[in-house]
Amino acid sequence: MAVVLGTEDWMGPYELLWTVEEYYPEAPATDQLEASIDALSRLARFGLVELCRVVEKRGPMPDEPTLSRNEIDSAVADPLVWDGNLPLGNSVWFATTELGRRALKEGKFRDEGF
């Protein structure tokens, strides 16, 4: 799901959570959030998506510095990044990497599940 979402543009983690809520409405909210955190963290560590912290209010741009592997887990574990009402200056965004795009093209991911 996150790999597919990130192909369109930079996305906020909350958009992944909203999609999980839509696909699994019967799951408890804590499970939905935990699954979203785990999926985004794993995909970033595997290099299929990249994360950046937006410092300015202009939104993420291709030249934004991406988070290092050491920063990924703490960034996605922060409950505030999953809040869709955060101002851009405090948010983390993700996008699909070239490796993630190739994996999609090769059929390794679909628009369902993680």
Burial status of residue 6 (CB atoms within 10 A of its CB: 0-12, 13-18, 19 or more): buried
Alpha carbon distances (Å) from 68 to 1, 34, 106:
22, 21, 26
Report pLDDT for 25.
95
pTM of the model: 0.81
The conformational region for residue 19 under phi > 0 = left, psi -120 to 50 = alpha, else beta, is alpha
- The structure tokens listed for 33 are 């959030």
Asked whether residue 87 carries a pLDDT value surpassing 80, the answer given is no
Report pLDDT for 104.
87
Q: Residue 49 and residue 41: Cα distance in Å, rounded?
A: 9
Q: What's 27's DSSP letter?
A: S
- The model's pLDDT over 20-74, given as tens digits with 9 standing for 90+, comes to 999 999 999 999 999 999 999 999 999 999 998 876 655 555 556 788 888 898 8
Alpha carbon distances (Å) from 87 to 7, 44, 58, 62, 90:
23, 23, 10, 19, 6
The continuous run of DSSP H or E covering 53 comes out as strand 49-53
